[in-house]
Amino acid sequence: MPVINKIREILLDFKYAKIFQIIAVYFALIYHVSFLIAFGLLRIYPMFLYNIYSVLLFSMLAVLVLSQKHTFERQFIFFYTEVIAHQILADYFLGGMGSFHFFIFLTGIVPLLTFRKHFGLAAFYGLLSAVGFTILEVVAPYIEPKYQLSTTALVVIKTINIASFSIVNIIGLLMYSYLVMLVEKKLQTQVEIKTYEAQAKTEKLLKIQGYIINSLANLVDNRDVDTGEHIQRTSAYVELISSKALEQGLYKDEIDSAFVDYIKRAAPLHDVGKIVVSDMILKKPGRLTEAEFEEMKLHAKEGGRVIREVFAMSDDKEFIKIAADVASCHHEKWDGSGYPNGLKSTQIPLCARIMAVADVFDALVSRRCYKEPYPVETAYKIIRESAGSHFDPQIVDIFLSQKDEIEKVMGKFTR
């Protein structure tokens, strides 16, 4: 689980391991000071004298843990040895019921938090503590105390132990809660960084992709004088059609906001295949012969090939598919009489059916080297009459429902 892995990562960080070590040592110091006072009042002198040693030891460790000159391992050996000895002496003088074996187990956890690079050693201490804890818990009821504790003495000792146990649990819970909060914040930061990096990478790729698209479109534009403004207008038309279809909930399985963006960016490439057509044919000021038209028809198939090869290394597979379909299928016809593959009806990719309407309309209203422009109303009529034969009827309806927007585009991108 990410949270558990991150907590482990944070615990193994020097800064947080040191915090745990400081808490452990200072808690042990307070614990032994409490028992020093208790054993003094109860006149249990062996334990009183030992706790003098314990308080001195943990006072020294409390100073050492604030310094980075001493390793965790050395400090822990003193810590570990003292705790084990304290519990065994407590069993011997007070009986198993008068000591508190939980701290042996707790001490076994400490190296897991502080021995950052010594997992083997930490695991050894942890296992040893677990075994010692288990043994003492099993034999505790059978240990005869050297001191006969009064009920009051037993209550005092148990109260200190229970209070210490509660404090350890509270501190542990608070520390764990803090770590979870820290981890969540760290994970959120990482997500934000990755999201930002992904967005930056996407933006960079889109800029590169846009540069390639513009370069290819300009390459065609430089060879075919009719292409430049045609590219701008047809890009605007396909955006109008696809946006309106999205707004009306048409073609729900295919059209979404990403589709609208893809087809708008792909539209300038619809005639990229013309780079394989000779200038004599592209710039011929009259009607093409049958052989010339067959060569011109190659631009559809070649356009798809060029796009797939140019964008072969791109991860944006959906864009490549739409761009290639637009280039290779925008001369297919609804009734199957188009080229290069004679596709019909919905066999023709939706993006190409949209492109077909935009492409033909713009060709009708534009001046070409072989013809004068048709009046806009005549072009609208031809488009409507071709619905069901040349064009997808639904695409025609969407297109013709936006005449005002279409004519704005014509005014904007016409010299």
**201 is a catalytic site residue:** no
Q: Give me the DSSP letters along 73-108.
A: HHHHHHHHHHHHHHHHHHHHHH-GGGS-THHHHHHH
Contact yes or no for 73/58 (Cβ under 8 A): no
Cα separation of 262 and 33, whole Å? Answer: 73
Catalytic one of 6, 244, 274, 333: 274
Strand partners, 371: 368
The Cα–Cα gap between 376 and 390 comes to: 19
Q: 394: which 2 tokens?
A: 């639904």
CA–CA distance from 76 to each of 18, 68, 89, 121 (Å)? 12, 14, 20, 11
Distance CA 131, CA 188 (A): 40
| Dihedral pair phi/psi, residue 371, rounded to 5° | -160, 160
The closest of 362, 332, 203 to 268, measured between CA atoms, is 362
Residue 184 DSSP symbol: H
Which residues are tagged catalytic? Answer: 274
